Amino acid sequence: MTHPAKHPGKSFVVAVVGATGAVGREMMRTLDQRRFPISRVVPLASKRSAGKVLEFGASEIVVAELGPQSFAGVDFALFSAGASVSREFAPIAAKAGAIVIDNSSAWRMDPQVPLVVPEVNMGAANIRPKGIIANPNCSTIQMVVALKPLHDVSRIKHIVVSTYQATSGKGHAAVEDLLAQARAVLDGKLPAPSVFPGQMAFNVMSDWKAGEMDYSEEEHKMVNETRKIMGDDSIGVSPTTVRVPVLNGHAESIFVEFHEPMTAERAKGLLRAAEGVVLVDQAYAPGKHPQPVHASGTDPVYVGRVRDDLAVKGAINMFVVADNLRKGAALNAVQIAERLI
């Protein structure tokens, strides 16, 4: 699948920080697949991973070690190497003149850093006093893409969301852990977890760091980031984040109540026209709705099972699935860069 170059003329130097990680690799793939106008790509990583060779289209590029001098001449610096790396190096990259798009949690709630999902609030990206734009958390991105068109019409009052999150959200090693554990169980052995804090194969668990009030950090992200992206601190969010033994692709069961009553029929109309959304628009039937194995490897946010609530008039329920490495991370970051050029 090849696209014509979208931006004839100018091309850019793009650094990818954390290029050997799950999201970093997806960023490289996405830049190539979408034919981002690149004059030079600069994969960066820690000393441990420097020297590795990564494919980029037809060429192979050696990963350089991240350092204070890495960003000379760089136009866009896409960060995905964890919060502490971003805290240290994002300001250095910005100072060197790069537009930083950071996939970590380091800058997301900084009032001077816009938190951007292109389909939802691209305008916010234009005001970036620190030269840094933050990419939201994967579970938040797919939710706000699905909810913004409805919020614009009926203003959201309350969201109850329970997630079914894939292991790839925790990185390569977590996926490998799940696969090794699954093989052990199938072979009648005890699984020996290497990344997860217990058995992940054929199990569900919440494995994120603890946040305040007995919520996980991931749950607080879904509350705070949703409000910041939507620009409405009055939105109530009741989140429960759960990891399921899926390789890639997050799913979310979402109940939404509005200030102005919504109907499933109207919501479907809005979602059919919404950017970045594929509405799975059919009556309930077993197995005929968005699923992680179908979404994985694709770009859209799939919304299905849109139905009027049985308890609260004017509320609806929906099931939202997306590739957490793509729209949930790498694709969203690259889309931000695309719209800035």
Binding site for a copy of itself (CB under 8 A): 158-160, 162, 164, 179, 182-183, 186, 196-199, 202-211, 213-216, 223, 236-240, 242, 244-247, 251, 253, 255, 264, 283-289, 291-293, 305-312, 315, 317, 319
Residue the block writes with tokens 């820690």 = 46
Q: d(Cα 94, Cα 9) in Å, to the nearest integer? A: 24
Q: Give min distance, CB of 204 to a copy of itself, in A.
A: 5
For residues 303 and 53, give the distance between their C-alpha atoms in angstroms, rounded to a whole number.
38
Contact 295, 187 (CB under 8 A): no
> To the nearest whole angstrom, how small is the minimum distance from the Cβ of residue 179 to a copy of itself?
6
Shorter beta-carbon distance to a copy of itself: residue 43 or 239: 239
Nearer to a copy of itself, 214 or 260 (CB): 214
Q: Residue 3 catalytic?
A: no
In SS3 terms, 125-189 reads as HHCCCCCEEECCCHHHHHHHHHHHHHHHHHCEEEEEEEEEECHHHHCHHHHHHHHHHHHHHHCCC
Which of 138, 151, 220, 289 is labelled catalytic?
138
Kindly state the smallest distance separating residue 325's Cβ from a copy of itself, in Å: 15
Q: Are 338 and 34 in contact (CB under 8 A)?
A: yes
220 counts as catalytic: no
Q: Which is nearer to a copy of itself, 112 or 282 (CB)?
A: 282
Distance CA 245, CA 196 (A): 11
Residue 10 or 313 having the CB closest to a copy of itself: 313
Radius of gyration of the chain (CA): 20
Q: How far is the CB of 128 from a copy of itself (least distance, A)?
A: 29
Active site residues: 138, 250
